[in-house]
Amino acid sequence: MRERIMYEIEDAIFLEPKIFDEAIIGIAYRFGMEPVVTYDRTIVIDILARLMTREEAEEFFEYNTIGSWMGILTPIFVDTRPAE
C-alpha cells in the first residue's frame, strides 16, 4: 500500500516506524486540498498497545499523533468501529 500511495502522493507523510503501515486504509481526497494518507485509528492504537497499556496507547495517540501537525499533508485517522 505504501508504494501505491507514494506513487500517487509524491510527498506523502507516513507514520514511523513502518509497523504502522498495517493500519493504512487508503488515501483521503479533500476538496481544494492535497490527498493524504489515511489510517485506521483503532489499528494504530492497537499497535501502540503492544508496547504499553491500552490506556497509555490511547493517551499517546491523542497527544503525540492526533496532536501532531506536520503540514497540509498530515495524515488523517478514521474510526472504523461500528456506531453503537
- pTM, entire model: 0.91
Query: Which residues, in sequence order, are CB contacts of 30 under 8 Å at separation 6+?
Result: 36
Contacts of residues 1-6 at CB distance under 8 Å and 24 or more positions apart, as own/partner, are 1/26, 5/37
Q: What is the pLDDT of residues 24-81, one digit of tens each?
A: 999 999 999 999 999 999 999 999 999 999 999 999 999 999 999 999 999 999 998 8
Res. 83 pLDDT band, cuts 50 70 90: confident
Residue type, 17: P
pLDDT of residue 82: 80
Q: Nearest to residue 1, comparing CAs of 25, 19, 28, 29? A: 25
Q: Is pLDDT of 84 > 80? A: no
Check residue 25 and give its pLDDT: 97
Give the single-character DSSP code of 17: S
Q: What's the pLDDT tens digit per position in 11-21?
A: 999 999 999 99
